Amino acid sequence: MIFKKHFEKRRGIFVTKPSLPPAEEYMEYVRRIFDNGILTNMGPMHEEFREKLSDYLDADICIPTCNGHMALEMTIQAMGLKGEVITTPFTFASTTHAIVRNGCTPVFCDIREEDCTMDAEKIEELITDKTVAIVPVHVYGLPCNVDRIAEIAKKHNLKVIYDAAHAFGVKVGRKSISQFGDASMISFHATKAFQTIEGGCTVVHDKDLAMRIYHLINFGIMSEETVASVGANAKMNEFEAAMGICSLNHFEEYVASRKEIFETYRRELSEIPGIRLPQPYRQDVTMNYAYMPLFFDPKVLGKDRDKIYNYLALHKVYARKYFYPLTSSFECYRDKGFSGYVPVAEKASKEVLTLPIYSDLTVEEAAHICDLIRKCI
Protein backbone atom coordinates (compact mmCIF):
# COMPACT_ATOMS: atom_id res chain seq x y z
CA MET A 1 0.00 0.00 0.00
CA ILE A 2 2.88 2.38 0.72
CA PHE A 3 3.78 2.50 -2.98
CA LYS A 4 0.23 2.66 -4.29
CA LYS A 5 0.40 6.32 -5.23
CA HIS A 6 3.35 5.63 -7.53
CA PHE A 7 1.25 3.26 -9.61
CA GLU A 8 -1.95 5.28 -9.80
CA LYS A 9 -2.63 6.19 -13.42
CA ARG A 10 -3.11 9.86 -14.20
CA ARG A 11 -4.12 11.25 -17.51
CA GLY A 12 -2.34 14.27 -18.87
CA ILE A 13 0.99 15.49 -20.22
CA PHE A 14 3.99 14.52 -18.13
CA VAL A 15 7.37 16.18 -17.95
CA THR A 16 8.96 13.28 -19.80
CA LYS A 17 8.19 10.01 -21.52
CA PRO A 18 10.56 7.30 -22.79
CA SER A 19 11.56 7.39 -26.45
CA LEU A 20 10.96 3.83 -27.60
CA PRO A 21 12.16 2.16 -30.80
CA PRO A 22 9.67 0.09 -32.85
CA ALA A 23 8.66 -2.98 -30.82
CA GLU A 24 9.48 -5.29 -33.73
CA GLU A 25 13.04 -3.98 -33.90
CA TYR A 26 13.64 -4.53 -30.19
CA MET A 27 12.07 -7.99 -30.28
CA GLU A 28 14.58 -9.08 -32.91
CA TYR A 29 17.34 -8.46 -30.39
CA VAL A 30 15.31 -10.14 -27.63
CA ARG A 31 15.05 -13.25 -29.82
CA ARG A 32 18.83 -13.25 -30.14
CA ILE A 33 19.11 -13.11 -26.35
CA PHE A 34 16.77 -16.09 -26.04
CA ASP A 35 18.69 -17.98 -28.72
CA ASN A 36 22.06 -17.61 -27.02
CA GLY A 37 20.66 -18.01 -23.49
CA ILE A 38 22.93 -15.35 -21.98
CA LEU A 39 21.14 -12.71 -19.90
CA THR A 40 23.96 -10.84 -18.15
CA ASN A 41 27.68 -10.88 -17.22
CA MET A 42 28.98 -8.97 -20.25
CA GLY A 43 27.32 -11.16 -22.87
CA PRO A 44 27.39 -10.68 -26.66
CA MET A 45 24.68 -7.98 -26.63
CA HIS A 46 26.59 -6.05 -23.98
CA GLU A 47 29.76 -6.18 -26.06
CA GLU A 48 28.00 -5.12 -29.26
CA PHE A 49 26.43 -2.18 -27.45
CA ARG A 50 29.72 -1.20 -25.80
CA GLU A 51 31.50 -1.07 -29.16
CA LYS A 52 28.75 0.96 -30.84
CA LEU A 53 28.48 3.25 -27.83
CA SER A 54 32.22 3.89 -27.80
CA ASP A 55 32.14 4.79 -31.48
CA TYR A 56 29.17 7.11 -31.10
CA LEU A 57 30.63 8.91 -28.08
CA ASP A 58 34.13 8.96 -29.59
CA ALA A 59 35.18 7.51 -26.24
CA ASP A 60 38.60 6.12 -25.35
CA ILE A 61 37.15 3.50 -23.00
CA CYS A 62 33.44 3.11 -22.33
CA ILE A 63 32.12 0.86 -19.55
CA PRO A 64 28.32 0.26 -19.55
CA THR A 65 26.67 -0.11 -16.13
CA CYS A 66 23.27 -0.97 -14.67
CA ASN A 67 22.56 2.71 -14.06
CA GLY A 68 24.27 6.08 -14.08
CA HIS A 69 24.56 6.37 -10.32
CA MET A 70 26.60 3.20 -9.96
CA ALA A 71 28.84 4.37 -12.79
CA LEU A 72 29.65 7.53 -10.83
CA GLU A 73 29.98 5.77 -7.49
CA MET A 74 32.27 3.06 -8.87
CA THR A 75 34.43 5.62 -10.70
CA ILE A 76 35.02 7.61 -7.53
CA GLN A 77 35.83 4.38 -5.67
CA ALA A 78 38.19 3.19 -8.40
CA MET A 79 40.13 6.45 -8.15
CA GLY A 80 40.59 5.86 -4.41
CA LEU A 81 39.47 9.38 -3.55
CA LYS A 82 39.34 10.34 0.13
CA GLY A 83 38.90 13.94 1.19
CA GLU A 84 36.95 16.96 0.00
CA VAL A 85 35.24 17.00 -3.38
CA ILE A 86 34.08 20.28 -4.88
CA THR A 87 30.71 19.84 -6.51
CA THR A 88 27.39 21.58 -7.16
CA PRO A 89 24.18 21.39 -5.11
CA PHE A 90 22.10 22.17 -8.23
CA THR A 91 21.83 18.58 -9.35
CA PHE A 92 20.00 15.30 -8.80
CA ALA A 93 20.52 13.44 -5.50
CA SER A 94 22.80 10.89 -7.17
CA THR A 95 25.73 13.29 -7.58
CA THR A 96 26.05 14.14 -3.89
CA HIS A 97 25.14 10.63 -2.72
CA ALA A 98 27.91 9.06 -4.83
CA ILE A 99 30.47 11.36 -3.20
CA VAL A 100 29.24 10.80 0.36
CA ARG A 101 28.83 7.02 -0.06
CA ASN A 102 32.53 6.89 -0.95
CA GLY A 103 33.46 8.52 2.35
CA CYS A 104 34.28 11.88 0.77
CA THR A 105 33.06 15.30 1.91
CA PRO A 106 31.14 17.42 -0.62
CA VAL A 107 32.03 21.11 -0.74
CA PHE A 108 29.33 23.01 -2.57
CA CYS A 109 30.28 25.54 -5.23
CA ASP A 110 27.77 28.06 -6.53
CA ILE A 111 26.52 28.05 -10.13
CA ARG A 112 26.44 30.46 -13.05
CA GLU A 113 23.02 32.03 -13.46
CA GLU A 114 23.35 31.90 -17.25
CA ASP A 115 23.49 28.10 -17.60
CA CYS A 116 23.23 26.68 -14.04
CA THR A 117 26.58 24.87 -14.32
CA MET A 118 29.31 25.15 -11.70
CA ASP A 119 30.83 28.64 -11.58
CA ALA A 120 34.43 27.84 -12.46
CA GLU A 121 35.60 31.22 -11.14
CA LYS A 122 34.47 30.26 -7.64
CA ILE A 123 36.27 26.90 -7.50
CA GLU A 124 39.74 27.99 -6.41
CA GLU A 125 38.52 29.80 -3.30
CA LEU A 126 37.09 26.46 -2.11
CA ILE A 127 40.28 24.43 -2.58
CA THR A 128 42.07 23.34 0.60
CA ASP A 129 44.82 20.86 1.39
CA LYS A 130 42.04 18.26 1.75
CA THR A 131 40.61 18.75 -1.75
CA VAL A 132 41.06 15.71 -3.99
CA ALA A 133 38.65 16.20 -6.89
CA ILE A 134 36.05 18.30 -8.68
CA VAL A 135 32.71 16.79 -9.70
CA PRO A 136 30.91 19.32 -11.94
CA VAL A 137 27.55 18.62 -13.62
CA HIS A 138 26.56 19.36 -17.22
CA VAL A 139 23.14 20.58 -16.07
CA TYR A 140 20.25 20.02 -18.53
CA GLY A 141 22.92 18.92 -21.01
CA LEU A 142 24.53 22.39 -21.00
CA PRO A 143 28.32 21.93 -20.79
CA CYS A 144 30.37 23.29 -17.93
CA ASN A 145 33.28 25.61 -18.64
CA VAL A 146 35.45 22.58 -19.36
CA ASP A 147 38.54 24.55 -20.39
CA ARG A 148 38.69 26.65 -17.22
CA ILE A 149 37.99 23.63 -15.00
CA ALA A 150 40.83 21.74 -16.71
CA GLU A 151 43.21 24.64 -15.99
CA ILE A 152 42.28 24.72 -12.31
CA ALA A 153 42.52 20.94 -11.93
CA LYS A 154 45.96 20.84 -13.53
CA LYS A 155 47.21 23.72 -11.40
CA HIS A 156 46.10 22.06 -8.15
CA ASN A 157 46.62 18.42 -9.20
CA LEU A 158 42.95 17.49 -8.81
CA LYS A 159 40.89 14.79 -10.50
CA VAL A 160 37.86 15.87 -12.55
CA ILE A 161 34.88 13.55 -12.84
CA TYR A 162 32.01 14.98 -14.85
CA ASP A 163 28.44 14.10 -14.03
CA ALA A 164 27.26 14.07 -17.64
CA ALA A 165 23.98 12.30 -16.82
CA HIS A 166 22.03 14.74 -19.00
CA ALA A 167 24.58 15.16 -21.75
CA PHE A 168 24.48 12.12 -24.04
CA GLY A 169 25.41 13.20 -27.56
CA VAL A 170 26.39 16.74 -26.55
CA LYS A 171 29.50 18.25 -28.15
CA VAL A 172 31.68 21.25 -27.39
CA GLY A 173 33.09 22.34 -30.70
CA ARG A 174 33.86 19.06 -32.43
CA LYS A 175 34.66 17.21 -29.22
CA SER A 176 32.28 14.80 -27.52
CA ILE A 177 31.37 15.87 -24.01
CA SER A 178 32.80 12.57 -22.76
CA GLN A 179 36.35 13.54 -23.79
CA PHE A 180 36.74 16.09 -21.01
CA GLY A 181 38.02 15.44 -17.50
CA ASP A 182 39.51 12.24 -16.13
CA ALA A 183 36.12 10.52 -16.41
CA SER A 184 32.49 11.18 -17.30
CA MET A 185 29.33 9.44 -16.17
CA ILE A 186 26.29 9.36 -18.44
CA SER A 187 22.82 8.15 -17.44
CA PHE A 188 20.63 6.04 -19.74
CA HIS A 189 17.57 6.09 -17.50
CA ALA A 190 14.19 5.66 -19.21
CA THR A 191 13.48 9.39 -18.88
CA LYS A 192 16.69 10.54 -20.55
CA ALA A 193 17.09 11.65 -24.17
CA PHE A 194 18.91 8.36 -24.76
CA GLN A 195 17.65 5.38 -22.78
CA THR A 196 18.43 1.72 -22.16
CA ILE A 197 15.46 1.18 -19.76
CA GLU A 198 17.82 1.61 -16.81
CA GLY A 199 21.50 1.95 -17.43
CA GLY A 200 24.45 4.24 -17.78
CA CYS A 201 28.16 4.25 -18.47
CA THR A 202 31.44 5.70 -17.37
CA VAL A 203 33.93 6.97 -19.93
CA VAL A 204 37.59 7.06 -18.95
CA HIS A 205 40.92 7.59 -20.70
CA ASP A 206 43.27 5.52 -18.53
CA LYS A 207 43.43 1.74 -19.00
CA ASP A 208 44.41 0.99 -15.40
CA LEU A 209 41.48 3.03 -14.10
CA ALA A 210 39.18 1.29 -16.56
CA MET A 211 40.24 -2.13 -15.30
CA ARG A 212 39.64 -1.11 -11.67
CA ILE A 213 36.13 0.07 -12.57
CA TYR A 214 35.51 -3.05 -14.63
CA HIS A 215 36.33 -5.26 -11.67
CA LEU A 216 34.40 -3.12 -9.17
CA ILE A 217 31.15 -3.36 -11.11
CA ASN A 218 31.43 -7.15 -10.81
CA PHE A 219 31.97 -7.46 -7.03
CA GLY A 220 35.71 -6.80 -7.30
CA ILE A 221 36.20 -10.22 -8.87
CA MET A 222 39.42 -10.49 -10.86
CA SER A 223 39.38 -14.22 -11.49
CA GLU A 224 37.52 -17.34 -10.41
CA GLU A 225 39.49 -17.45 -7.16
CA THR A 226 40.55 -13.83 -6.66
CA VAL A 227 38.42 -10.99 -5.26
CA ALA A 228 40.78 -8.05 -4.95
CA SER A 229 38.46 -5.22 -3.92
CA VAL A 230 35.10 -4.55 -2.29
CA GLY A 231 32.93 -4.06 -5.35
CA ALA A 232 29.25 -4.08 -6.19
CA ASN A 233 26.93 -5.53 -8.81
CA ALA A 234 26.68 -2.74 -11.34
CA LYS A 235 26.73 -4.68 -14.61
CA MET A 236 24.43 -3.86 -17.51
CA ASN A 237 22.26 -6.82 -18.55
CA GLU A 238 21.58 -8.02 -22.09
CA PHE A 239 18.04 -6.60 -22.32
CA GLU A 240 19.27 -3.12 -21.41
CA ALA A 241 22.11 -3.44 -23.92
CA ALA A 242 19.64 -4.48 -26.63
CA MET A 243 17.50 -1.44 -25.92
CA GLY A 244 20.65 0.68 -26.11
CA ILE A 245 21.49 -0.64 -29.57
CA CYS A 246 17.96 0.11 -30.79
CA SER A 247 17.95 3.56 -29.17
CA LEU A 248 21.25 4.42 -30.86
CA ASN A 249 19.64 3.60 -34.21
CA HIS A 250 17.00 6.29 -33.62
CA PHE A 251 18.75 8.81 -31.39
CA GLU A 252 19.17 11.49 -34.07
CA GLU A 253 15.42 11.26 -34.79
CA TYR A 254 14.66 11.72 -31.10
CA VAL A 255 16.90 14.78 -30.88
CA ALA A 256 15.28 16.35 -33.97
CA SER A 257 11.82 15.89 -32.44
CA ARG A 258 12.95 17.34 -29.11
CA LYS A 259 14.54 20.31 -30.87
CA GLU A 260 11.23 21.14 -32.55
CA ILE A 261 9.47 21.17 -29.17
CA PHE A 262 12.32 23.15 -27.59
CA GLU A 263 12.11 25.79 -30.32
CA THR A 264 8.33 26.02 -29.89
CA TYR A 265 8.73 26.84 -26.20
CA ARG A 266 11.56 29.26 -26.90
CA ARG A 267 9.62 31.06 -29.58
CA GLU A 268 6.43 31.31 -27.51
CA LEU A 269 7.83 32.13 -24.07
CA SER A 270 11.40 33.42 -24.05
CA GLU A 271 10.45 37.01 -24.94
CA ILE A 272 8.02 37.35 -22.04
CA PRO A 273 9.52 39.61 -19.33
CA GLY A 274 10.23 37.58 -16.23
CA ILE A 275 10.78 34.27 -18.04
CA ARG A 276 14.38 33.23 -18.67
CA LEU A 277 15.84 30.35 -20.66
CA PRO A 278 19.40 29.22 -19.76
CA GLN A 279 22.01 29.48 -22.49
CA PRO A 280 25.24 27.52 -23.21
CA TYR A 281 28.41 29.37 -22.16
CA ARG A 282 29.76 29.21 -25.74
CA GLN A 283 28.19 29.22 -29.18
CA ASP A 284 29.66 26.02 -30.62
CA VAL A 285 27.70 23.60 -28.42
CA THR A 286 25.75 20.76 -30.05
CA MET A 287 22.74 20.26 -27.78
CA ASN A 288 20.60 17.17 -27.18
CA TYR A 289 17.51 19.07 -25.96
CA ALA A 290 17.20 16.71 -23.01
CA TYR A 291 15.26 19.19 -20.86
CA MET A 292 13.21 22.35 -21.17
CA PRO A 293 14.07 24.47 -18.12
CA LEU A 294 12.55 27.91 -17.65
CA PHE A 295 13.11 30.34 -14.81
CA PHE A 296 10.21 32.44 -13.58
CA ASP A 297 11.10 35.68 -11.78
CA PRO A 298 8.33 36.38 -9.24
CA LYS A 299 9.33 40.04 -8.90
CA VAL A 300 8.59 40.65 -12.58
CA LEU A 301 5.71 38.23 -13.08
CA GLY A 302 3.89 38.88 -9.83
CA LYS A 303 3.50 35.12 -9.40
CA ASP A 304 6.03 32.61 -8.18
CA ARG A 305 7.05 29.35 -9.80
CA ASP A 306 4.87 27.24 -7.53
CA LYS A 307 1.67 28.97 -8.62
CA ILE A 308 2.52 28.30 -12.26
CA TYR A 309 3.39 24.69 -11.39
CA ASN A 310 0.05 24.21 -9.62
CA TYR A 311 -1.90 25.92 -12.42
CA LEU A 312 -0.40 23.58 -15.00
CA ALA A 313 -1.14 20.53 -12.82
CA LEU A 314 -4.74 21.70 -12.46
CA HIS A 315 -4.92 21.43 -16.25
CA LYS A 316 -3.26 17.98 -16.33
CA VAL A 317 0.17 19.24 -17.34
CA TYR A 318 2.79 17.87 -14.95
CA ALA A 319 5.96 19.95 -14.99
CA ARG A 320 8.82 19.45 -12.52
CA LYS A 321 10.75 21.65 -10.09
CA TYR A 322 14.10 20.38 -11.31
CA PHE A 323 16.24 21.00 -9.21
CA TYR A 324 14.43 21.81 -6.00
CA PRO A 325 15.44 21.52 -3.26
CA LEU A 326 19.21 21.78 -3.57
CA THR A 327 21.01 18.61 -2.51
CA SER A 328 22.78 20.64 0.17
CA SER A 329 19.33 21.20 1.73
CA PHE A 330 18.37 17.52 1.87
CA GLU A 331 17.25 16.29 5.27
CA CYS A 332 19.90 13.57 5.24
CA TYR A 333 22.66 16.21 4.94
CA ARG A 334 21.19 18.92 7.14
CA ASP A 335 23.32 18.13 10.21
CA LYS A 336 26.49 17.03 8.42
CA GLY A 337 28.14 20.44 8.37
CA PHE A 338 28.95 20.37 4.66
CA SER A 339 30.15 23.79 3.52
CA GLY A 340 29.16 26.02 0.65
CA TYR A 341 27.69 29.49 0.09
CA VAL A 342 25.39 29.13 -2.92
CA PRO A 343 22.99 32.11 -3.26
CA VAL A 344 22.71 31.84 -7.06
CA ALA A 345 21.80 28.16 -6.82
CA GLU A 346 19.29 28.91 -4.04
CA LYS A 347 17.57 31.51 -6.21
CA ALA A 348 17.54 29.25 -9.27
CA SER A 349 16.04 26.34 -7.33
CA LYS A 350 13.07 28.51 -6.34
CA GLU A 351 12.44 29.81 -9.86
CA VAL A 352 13.04 26.81 -12.12
CA LEU A 353 10.37 24.72 -13.81
CA THR A 354 11.16 22.08 -16.42
CA LEU A 355 8.35 21.75 -18.93
CA PRO A 356 7.31 18.57 -20.74
CA ILE A 357 9.65 17.61 -23.56
CA TYR A 358 10.01 14.24 -25.26
CA SER A 359 10.12 12.89 -28.80
CA ASP A 360 6.39 11.97 -28.90
CA LEU A 361 5.17 15.35 -27.65
CA THR A 362 3.49 17.30 -30.42
CA VAL A 363 4.02 20.94 -31.32
CA GLU A 364 0.31 21.47 -30.68
CA GLU A 365 0.64 20.12 -27.15
CA ALA A 366 3.66 22.33 -26.50
CA ALA A 367 1.73 25.34 -27.81
CA HIS A 368 -1.16 24.44 -25.51
CA ILE A 369 1.23 24.43 -22.52
CA CYS A 370 2.50 27.86 -23.58
CA ASP A 371 -1.09 29.14 -23.71
CA LEU A 372 -1.70 27.88 -20.19
CA ILE A 373 1.42 29.64 -18.89
CA ARG A 374 0.41 32.89 -20.54
CA LYS A 375 -3.05 32.64 -19.01
CA CYS A 376 -1.58 31.97 -15.60
CA ILE A 377 0.80 34.94 -15.63
Produce one character per residue of 332-371: b if its CB has 16 or more CB atoms within 10 Å, e if not: ebeeeebebebebbbebbbbbbbbbbbbebeeeebeebbe
pLDDT per 10-residue tile (average), the chain, 377 residues? 52 95 98 97 97 96 98 98 98 98 98 98 98 98 98 98 98 96 98 97 97 96 93 98 98 98 96 95 95 98 96 98 97 92 98 97 98 97
Q: What is the CATH number of domain 21-246?
A: 3.40.640.10
- Stretch(es) of the chain classified as CATH 3.90.1150.10: 250-376
Contact 196, 62 (CB under 8 A): no
Strand partners, 294: 353
Contact 185, 136 (CB under 8 A): no
- Stretch(es) of the chain classified as CATH 3.40.640.10: 21-246
Task: Give me the pLDDT at residue 154, please.
Answer: 98
- How far apart are the C-alpha atoms of 159 and 164, rounded to whole Å? 15
pTM above threshold 0.75: yes
Fold classified for 250-376: Aspartate Aminotransferase, domain 1 (3.90.1150)
